Structure formats: C-alpha cells, structure tokens
Structure 1
Amino acid sequence: MSAPSHTRSHPAATGGVDIRLPWWAIVLPAIAFVALLLLILNPADGQAAAADPTVAHVLARAKDLLLP
C-alpha cells in the first residue's frame, strides 16, 4: 500500500522558490538593529566612550551624519 503524495500548487518550473516570511521575521530584527545603533551613537550614556575622547568624537560625528 502506497502513501498518497501531495502535489505542489506552483510548479517548480516557474523560475524560483516561493518563500514567504511572517511580518515579524523582518520587523523585529530591524527594530533590534535600530535600537542597538541608537545605543552606540549616544556617547553621553556610554562610560567607555566617555573615557576615550577619540571614540566619543567619532561617535558624535557619526550621529551628526546619520541623524539630522
């Protein structure tokens, strides 16, 4: 006795693989990236950035360039 096989609704010859991601698979990493970027770009809150004036200066310039 053989098991029934499932057929695809889209044939493989259409030219690509159909991959569908849920909305949170894109939004949550983007939110995490932005949150970490904002934490890095705020040198006033970081003790390590305040200890080295060169790092603080570079981070302040990056913040000025990215956030108008």
Structure 2
Amino acid sequence: MSVRAHTRRDPAKQAEPTAVEIQLPWWAIALPAIAFAALLLLILNPVDAHAASGEPVVTHLFERVKTVFASLL
C-alpha cells in the first residue's frame, strides 16, 4: 500500500496568508521588563539612587526654575 508524501505548500500560492509565529525565550521578555521596572523605581524614588554627590541635581534645577518664576511675578 502506498503512502502519500506530505508536500509543503508554497505560501505565494495559498489563497489565505498564514500568520507568522514568533517564539521568544523567556529571558527576552523578562530582562527588559526587570530593567524597565528598576529604572521606573529609580525615577519615582531618587533617594535610593546613590549618585556621586549627596544632593540630586534635579532638585537644584527645580529650585532655580522656581526662583526665576518667582522673580518674574
């Protein structure tokens, strides 16, 4: 008894295009998510981010902007 050979169809000849399935390893999703969460936590709570100086530069910038706007009014 003969068996039919399974042949692959040419995607260009198919009437309906098939969806492309992409599989990523678990770490390809987990590592960027962890890095994003860590950076978000550092932005939300800059006290935990120990930089070279004791005072954050952003607070000095905000204080200067505040004094400039206060002097204009």
TM-score by length of 2: 0.43
TM-score by length of 1: 0.46
Greater relative contact order: 1 or 2 (C-alpha under 8 angstroms, separation 6 or more)? 1
Work out which of the two has the higher radius of gyration on C-alpha atoms and give 1 or 2.
2
